[in-house]
Amino acid sequence: MDDSVLVDLDVEEPNCYLFQKGGVDTTGEASRPVPSVDSVKCTLCGKCGEVCEFHAIVVLPREVMVFEELCHGCGACSLFCPEDAISEKGHLVGDIVSTSGDAYDLLYGRLRVGEAMPTHLIREVRKHIPEGRQAVVDCPPGTSCAPVESIRGADLCILVTEPTPFGFHDLKLALGVTEKLKVRTAVFINKHGLPGPDIDSFCNDNGIPVIGRLPLDRDIAERYSRGELLTRVADHRRVFESLRDGIKEMLTT
């Protein structure tokens, strides 16, 4: 899509960068605040451990232990420390990468392996979306906090599904999310042609537009496996051109 920037918010397993060549990465680190205890000022009173709802601080007889992986960065410990002994330092959660290759301008997050919470990084990557550019976002899977953080505030959410009982079941769960977030939703059917549930009828009955269909086709699977973009193959390109037109139409009405 013209003038848009692709934003990969599946920070646990980002893949969009694999589908284009060239481009120079600009990489920045993202970190979240965690407590740093000044052992000279600290009197081991235990207040920080008491106010931490995430059990990230344990006050031992001779030291304060901080479990950075559990910390949500709420700032309660430093706020309530009576000795002003707690400041904050950065805990590295991952990288934020901007690149423009031969296919698209891309912005993505890459969660550090072992880091449990992706939402902070997702919020940080979103802050880097250039002002005035249309963002096309690749969301993480599921229905938990990470996809919610990625979908929140969007103008349109496209749910990709497939006509299998599993795809249909997950589609209904995902619709629960977009409904809750009050985000306008359309459905794209992948592997169209499988003899499964009738997604078209379901969407029709529920007033959800079906914005495109990609057939089940070994050629598509093989091209994807090699990291080829389907938009560069005339037959498949049509599907995505009509998807683009459908999106434009939905965004202007």
Partner 1 sequence: MKEIVVVSGKGGTGKTTVLARYAEIANSAVIADCDVDAPNLHMLLNPKMLHREAFVGSKMAVVDPKKCANCGKCEGLCRFDAISTVDDDGRKRVDIDIDSCEGCGICVRVCPEDAIDLRDRIVGEWFVSDTDYGTMIHALLEPGAENSGKLVAMVKHKAKMTAKGSGAELVLVDGPPGIGCPVIAALSGADIVVIVAEPTVSGLSDFRRVADLAGGFKIKCALLVNKADLNCEMTASLLEEAIRREMPCVGTIPYDEGLMAAMAKGADAAMEYQGSPAIVEISKTYDTLLWLL
Report the interface residues with partner 1, using CB under 8 A.
Answer: 12-15, 18-19, 51, 53-54, 72-76, 79-80, 111, 113-118, 140-146, 148, 152, 163-166, 169-170, 173-174, 176-177, 180-181, 191, 194-197, 216, 218, 221-222, 224-227
Q: How far apart are CA 16 and CA 215, in angstroms?
A: 21
- Residue 187 or 246 having the CB closest to partner 1: 187
- Residue 178 or 246 having the CB closest to partner 1: 178
Residue 140 has what DSSP assignment? P
List Cβ neighbours of 35 (8 Å cut-off, separation of 6 or more): 48, 57, 66, 71, 77, 78, 86, 87, 88, 89
- Residue 130 or 176 having the CB closest to partner 1: 176
Query: Alpha-carbon dihedral of residues 26, 27, 28, 29, nearest 10 degrees?
Result: 180
- Residue 225 or 253 having the CB closest to partner 1: 225
Q: Least distance from C-beta 162 to partner 1, angstroms? A: 8
Q: Least distance from C-beta 39 to partner 1, angstroms? A: 24
Is there a contact between 33 and 89 (Cβ–Cβ < 8 Å)? Answer: yes
Q: Least distance from C-beta 12 to partner 1, angstroms? A: 4
Q: How far apart are CA 66 and CA 146, in angstroms?
A: 25
Q: How far apart are CA 45 and CA 43, in angstroms?
A: 5
Q: Least distance from C-beta 211 to partner 1, angstroms? A: 20
